[in-house]
Amino acid sequence: STQIDSMSARSVKLKEEIATTQAALSALTRAQAEATKLRAEEKAEYEKNKPEMEAGLQGVKLALKVLREYYAQEGKGHSAAEGPGTGIIGLLEVVESDFTKGLAEMNVAESAAQSEYETDTRANEIEKASKETAVKHMTKEAATLQKSIAETSSDREGAHTELSAILEYKAKLDEICIAKPETYGERAARREAEIAGLKEALEILESETALLQRKRGVSRLRGARAALEPMA
């Protein structure tokens, strides 16, 4: 029926949507797992490099402190080395600046990566919850539709069975109540049966008539004899 066809079409569509949503959920789960793995690797690399950078920076700062204190002392013993010393201090100051900048950039990159990961994770969790709820509702609706289809199909089959029984009973009634045209053979057989019946009835009638006549003759003969006896 149209109702069953409509419910069946909706059921098929729901199953397709469920499959699509479940596939999206699987892809989302894989993407989250990959992001978590990448974040862990990045964090491990950061935690490995940060102490090294901090140690290097501290070493440069310590070297600068020592050199500056050395060249700041009074006396002429190191006056000849002031020119090269100044160059070394200048070089170390550049290294210090590079270390400081690199460490700051490393911290910013780690903070940004962690923040982005957390934002994406929250979004994925919301999307996952939404899709899981959708799958739950669609699955429930599909199950309800399947039940309705089964019940409606059963009702239709019952109605068809009942209708078939009614039609069969009507056909039997029609066969009993509605006269069917006789074939030539049927008419001839019926006519022959009627003639045979008439002949049989006529023979019986003739037989009974003859018997009655004989009885009457005997009765008359007895009457004549009785009338003659007094005259003898």
Q: Give yes or no for residue 197 having a pLDDT over 80.
A: no
Give the pTM: 0.55
Q: Give yes or no for residue 150 having a pLDDT over 90.
A: no
CA 165/CA 167 separation, integer angstroms: 5
Please report, as a single letter, which amino acid is at residue 181.
P
Torsion sign (Cα): 178, 184, 185, 189: positive
Q: For 82-126, how does the pLDDT look when each residue is reduced to its tens digit (9 = 90+)?
A: 556 678 888 999 999 999 999 999 999 999 999 999 999 999 999
Angle between helices 82-177 and 2-72 (to 10 degrees): 170
Measuring CA to CA, which residue among 105, 108, 107, 103 is closest to residue 59?
103
Q: Which residues contact 123 (CB under 8 A, 6 or more apart)?
A: none
Q: Give yes or no for residue 49 having a pLDDT over 90.
A: yes
